[in-house]
Structure 1
Amino acid sequence: MSGLSEKERAGCRKLLSLLSRGDLLSLCDTVTNRLIAVENTEEATETILSFTQTAEALLRRKKVHRELIFKFLAKEGVTMPPNSEKHQLVKRTLELWSSGKAVTGGPDQNFEGGMDETKPSQSTEAASDSSVKAELGFEPLLLGQQFCQWFFQLLNSQNPLLGQQPESWGPQHFWPDVKLHLLSRTGTEQTEEFLGSELVSLRLLALTKEEHLLFSPNLDPRGLRALASPHGLVLVAIAGTIHRETACLGIFEEIFGLIRSPLENNSWKIKFINLKIKGQDALGGTEVAAPVLNYNSSELQLLCR
């Protein structure tokens, strides 16, 4: 009876997994008009999918509330304004499922040779020197997009408020001498610096696991830039918003330095991170829905030297 495509079924299944057990069973009763009894959440999910004619119909159910869809999109790496209305979130979710561009990245796909790096650049600010691209054998902007999708999905998965299984976070994603420079303006200005893969990994982990922050990167051309040096260093700069549950706390700008590791299947590992965080107080009421990256290519080029 279901009219859902395979992509829609997979997306709806992820969305339903965010519902509480009580809400899921209640939704199952509503969808089936209480004609089918289920014994567990897995049966409830499959029954709901079987009796759902369209993805839009499911998204518009009362039990599938606005905050739930917002959380789902954030987990998929889709940036939406925190004050988005439900119909806007529904439309964006349907577009996501229609395009099939849900984020499913991981270390194997993105950093160990499984990455499709032949697509054209979408940003005029990205590195465009054909000789550099030919020498390095990839498109820097595409690498930046895939890296940011992978990294923020991995980091956000550590947030216990999302209720999902944490992915494999740890020092293995960093070079042993990695450096983290963290500047935060949340009432007062504070600077922190960390050296070494263990300390850097733990400090970043604390942002999501202990402080319960959720990073929503702006992967549009105005929010992301990438630049490659002939010596193998790739710089990826990204802007985005920071949330705790459904509250938007501020914005962030982050620069990553990436270098391949020849001893680990040429996978990309993080050499340094510069992270700036601005709270709502420091923004003075500025719109933070999809922040624009302030770094330009000339400034990034200085970091390549």
Structure 2
Amino acid sequence: MSGLSETERTGCATILTLMSAADVHSLTDTVTNKLIVVENTTEAVETILSFSKNAEEFLRRKKVQRDLIFKYLVNQGVVMPPNSEKHQLVKRTLELWSSGKVVSDKSSQEEKKGILHKQPTDVSANVVEVGFDPQVLGQQFCQWFFQLLNSQNPSLGQQPEDWGPQHFWPDVKLHLLSRTGSEQTQDEFIGADLVSLRLLALTKEERLLLSPNLEPHGLRALMSPHGLVLVAVAGTIHRGSVCLGVFEQICGLIRSPLEKNSWKIKVIDLKIRAQDALPGTEVAAPALTYSSSELQFLCS
């Protein structure tokens, strides 16, 4: 009988989907001592979940490689240094599962993907609802946005999610500032198609992985009286196991009354700063440099 909770079963199953079919079947043989023959991968996954004594035993299996756990945590919006050892990732994953803050089953994924499509309660798009918390929206938005964008990165080996211009206002503006050493470049892109393609290139072509810091010192959100929500977040940028630098991003969100009051992106200000980093270098989760007063000014 499996010793996994429902949350742990869902998380373990998600990690198994990141593995090759051959590794899943091999793990089935290990877990069952080759006493059970499975017909397909789906049956193999169910067998592994049923015969795993507990979540820690599953995570420590040799076939459950360190990189798989790291990818899983990234998809959950959990910031971990890219040089973290497997036992550290295992510990963090167990903490995540016990916290109840997991977004991994299908219904939760749909809920997370749909955070830009939540309708207000009997209010117009330009009126703040009673009890509305922009900080909560900001955290949900960042989890949704960065998982969606990172899923386009081929090195993660996962199915790309539904990225495209439909998430932006037609006249959206992207201001991109990149700093490398003493060099600095600034670019501006206007229009949903151009902005969508430029951001897509970061992960799909340049194979960058953006890891947001969703802790209070790394995330801040404010709302204007007219309904504009500014979400500011800091994070680290990775390629493979190397941390390339840090970023700060401000997104302006406005509801679209013609599309069921869905939240859409109106403006993005993205600052990327490269830094000398080698594999094994400890990387702290960056904090926002924008003050509340600066965001209030932008939001006014």
The question of a shared fold, defined as TM-score above 0.5 by the shorter chain, is answered with yes
- Give the CA deviation at 1:133: 9.5
Q: Distance in 1 between matches of 2:277 and 2:155?
A: 26
Runs of 4+ in 1 over 3 A off after TM superposition: 105-109, 132-137, 285-288
Cα 1:58–1:14 change in 2 (3 A) is same
1:224 and 2:219 equivalent? yes
Q: Distance in 2 between matches of 1:107 and 1:52?
A: 29
- Give the CA deviation at 1:287: 5.8
The letter of the residue matching 2:35 is L
Output one character per residue of 1:213-263: Cα deviation in whole Å (capped at 9) or x when no partner. Answer: 111111000000011111111111001111223322211110001111111
Q: How does 1:72-87 map to 2 (within 5 A)?
A: 72-87=72-87
1:113 and 2:107 equivalent? no
Q: Distance in 2 between matches of 1:99 and 1:80?
A: 17
- Give the CA deviation at 1:150: 0.8
2:53 corresponds to: 53
- Give the CA deviation at 1:106: 5.2
TM-score by length of 2: 0.89
Identity %, equivalent residues: 72
- Structure 2 unaligned spans of 5+: 104-108
- Count matched residues: 289
Q: Distance in 1 between matches of 2:129 and 2:112?
A: 23
Indicate if the aligned counterparts of 2:128 and 2:227 stay in contact, CA closer than 8 A.
no
The letter of the residue matching 2:229 is V
Indicate if the aligned counterparts of 2:149 and 2:203 stay in contact, CA closer than 8 A.
yes
Q: Distance in 1 between matches of 2:41 and 2:128?
A: 51
2:274 corresponds to: 279
Superposition CA RMSD, Å: 2.4
Q: Residue 281 of structure 1: SS of its match in structure 2?
A: coil
Q: How does 1:147-226 map to 2 (within 5 A)?
A: 147-187=141-181, 188-226=183-221
2:252 corresponds to: 257
Cα 1:115–1:101 change in 2 (3 A) is farther
Indicate if the aligned counterparts of 2:154 and 2:204 stay in contact, CA closer than 8 A.
yes
- Give the CA deviation at 1:114: 6.4
Cα 1:218–1:3 change in 2 (3 A) is same
Cα 1:133–1:86 change in 2 (3 A) is farther
Q: Distance in 2 between matches of 1:147 and 1:73?
A: 17
Q: Residue 89 of structure 1: SS of its match in structure 2?
A: helix
Indicate if the aligned counterparts of 2:219 and 2:288 stay in contact, CA closer than 8 A.
yes
Cα 1:108–1:23 change in 2 (3 A) is closer
Q: Residue 216 of structure 1: SS of its match in structure 2?
A: strand
The letter of the residue matching 1:112 is H
The letter of the residue matching 2:252 is G
1:6 and 2:6 equivalent? yes
1:239 corresponds to: 234
Cα 1:271–1:147 change in 2 (3 A) is same
Q: Residue 177 of structure 1: SS of its match in structure 2?
A: strand
- Give the CA deviation at 1:134: 6.1
Indicate if the aligned counterparts of 2:31 and 2:51 stay in contact, CA closer than 8 A.
yes
Cα 1:22–1:47 change in 2 (3 A) is same
TM-score by length of 1: 0.88
- Structure 1 unaligned spans of 5+: 117-131
Q: Distance in 1 between matches of 2:4 and 2:20?
A: 23
